[in-house]
C-alpha cells in the first residue's frame, strides 16, 4: 500500500473513530482549531487549568500542545499534561509557534522538549531549525525561512528528538529521521490567514488520535490542510479574499473525501 492510500485510510479512520483531541493552545486561533477538528470528524477538548489537564488527557485520544500565546500558567499545564500523555502512551503533538523570536520562548520550547517525549512536532522550517539549535532567527511567528538543506535538517532533528518532524512550507517535509514524505499540495494564500499552522497541527493531532502510524498520520494531517487550501483558493472570485477563503477552507475540510485525496494528493516517499 502506498502513502497516498494510507492517507485515504487515515481519513476513514478519523471519521470512524471520532478521536477526542485535547488541546492546550493559544487564545488567538483556538476557535479555528476546535472547528477544524470538528470539520475533519474529531471531537475537541480545550482545557488548560493545571488541576484538570491530567483528567482530560486520560479521556482523550491525543494531546496537542501549541505555544502561541504561552504564559507561566499554561506552560505548567503543558508540562503536566505532556508527562501524563507520555505515561499513558498517548500521542503528543507539539506546535512550537514563534520559537526563535526571543530568548523566553526559546527557553520554554527547550524545557518542553526536555521534559516531554513528543510524537510529532509541526512547525515551519525556521521554527524547526530554531528548535534544532541551528540559530535561525524568525521574524515574528509567520516567517518562512530559507529552505535549503531542509530535508537534511528535518531528518536530523527528527532523529535527535526521536519524533516525527512535520515541516510545512512550499514543499512539506514529514520525516521520522529515516523515511521522508514530501507533499506538494497547498497554496501561498494559506500564509495570509492566521492560524493555518495551528490548524494543521490540530489536524495532525486528530489523525494521530485515530491512526497508530504517526508518520502517516502527520502526513495525512498536513496534506489535508494543503488540499483544502488549494480547493478553497480555486473558488475565490476577484472580489473575494482571506475572509471568504477562511470560510471555504472549513467547507473544504468538512467535505473532504478519500476520492479527493486520491485525485489531488501530491505526496511521495523519498
- Residues at the interface with a second copy (CB under 8 A): 20, 26-32, 34-35, 38-39, 43-49, 51-52, 55-56, 58-59, 68-73, 98, 101-105, 139-142, 192-195, 235, 239-244, 246-255
Q: How far is the CB of 24 from a second copy (least distance, A)?
A: 10
Decide: helix, strand or coil at residue 122.
strand
> Considering beta carbons, is residue 140 or 270 the nearer one to a second copy?
140
Distance between start and end Cα atoms, the chain? 15
> Considering beta carbons, is residue 157 or 207 the nearer one to a second copy?
207
Pull the grid cell for residue 226.
494543503
Q: How far is the CB of 152 from a second copy (least distance, A)?
A: 28
> Considering beta carbons, is residue 162 or 235 the nearer one to a second copy?
235
Q: How far is the CB of 83 from a second copy (least distance, A)?
A: 17
**Which residues, in sequence order, are CB contacts of 54 under 8 Å at separation 6+?**
80, 81, 84
> Considering beta carbons, is residue 173 or 193 the nearer one to a second copy?
193
> Considering beta carbons, is residue 112 or 173 the nearer one to a second copy?
112
Q: How far is the CB of 125 from a second copy (least distance, A)?
A: 17
Q: What stretch of H or E contains 221?
A: helix 214-234
Q: How far is the CB of 206 from a second copy (least distance, A)?
A: 13
Whole-angstrom CA distances from 258 to 13, 64, 224, 254 are 11, 25, 10, 12
Whole-angstrom CA distances from 261 to 76, 168, 256, 269 are 39, 18, 8, 16
Amino acid at each position: 500500500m502506498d502513502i497516498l492510500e494510507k492517507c485515504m485510510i487515515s481519513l476513514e479512520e478519523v471519521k470512524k473513530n471520532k478521536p477526542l483531541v485535547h488541546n492546550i493552545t493559544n487564545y488567538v486561533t483556538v476557535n479555528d482549531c476546535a472547528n477544524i477538528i470538528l470539520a475533519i470528524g474529531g471531537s475537541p477538548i480545550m482545557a488548560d487549568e493545571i488541576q484538570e489537564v491530567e483528567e482530560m488527557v486520560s479521556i482523550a485520544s491525543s494531546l496537542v500542545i501549541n505555544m502561541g500565546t504561552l504564559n507561566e500558567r499554561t506552560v505548567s499545564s503543558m508540562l503536566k499534561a505532556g508527562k501524563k500523555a507520555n505515561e499513558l502512551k498517548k500521542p503528543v503533538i507539539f506546535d512550537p509557534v514563534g520559537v526563535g523570536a526571543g530568548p523566553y520562548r526559546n527557553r520554554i520550547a527547550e524545557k518542553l522538549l526536555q521534559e516531554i517525549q513528543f510524537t510529532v512536532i509541526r512547525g515551519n522550517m525556521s521554527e524547526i531549525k530554531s528548535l534544532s539549535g541551528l540559530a535561525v532567527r524568525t521574524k515574528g511567528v509567520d516567517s518562512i525561512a530559507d529552505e535549503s538543506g531542509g530535508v537534511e535538517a528535518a531528518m536530523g532533528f527528527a532523529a535527535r528528538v526521536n519524533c516525527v518532524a512535520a515541516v510545512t512550507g512550499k514543499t512539506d517535509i514529514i520525516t521520522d529521521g529515516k523515511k521522508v514524505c514530501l507533499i506538494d499540495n497547498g497554496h501561498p494564500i494559506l500564509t495570509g490567514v492566521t492560524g493555518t499552522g495551528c490548524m494543521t497541527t490540530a489536524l495532525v493531532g486528530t489523525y494521530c488520535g485515530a491512526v497508530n502510524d504517526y508518520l502517516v498520520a502527520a502526513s495525512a494531517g498536513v496534506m489535508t490542510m494543503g488540499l483544502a487550501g488549494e480547493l478553497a483558493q480555486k473558488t475565490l472570485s476577484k472580489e473575494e479574499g482571506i475572509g471568504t477563503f477562511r470560510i471555504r477552507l472549513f467547507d473544504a475540510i468538512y467535505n473532504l473525501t478519500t476520492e479527493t485525496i486520491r485525485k489531488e494528493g501530491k505526496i511521495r516517499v523519498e
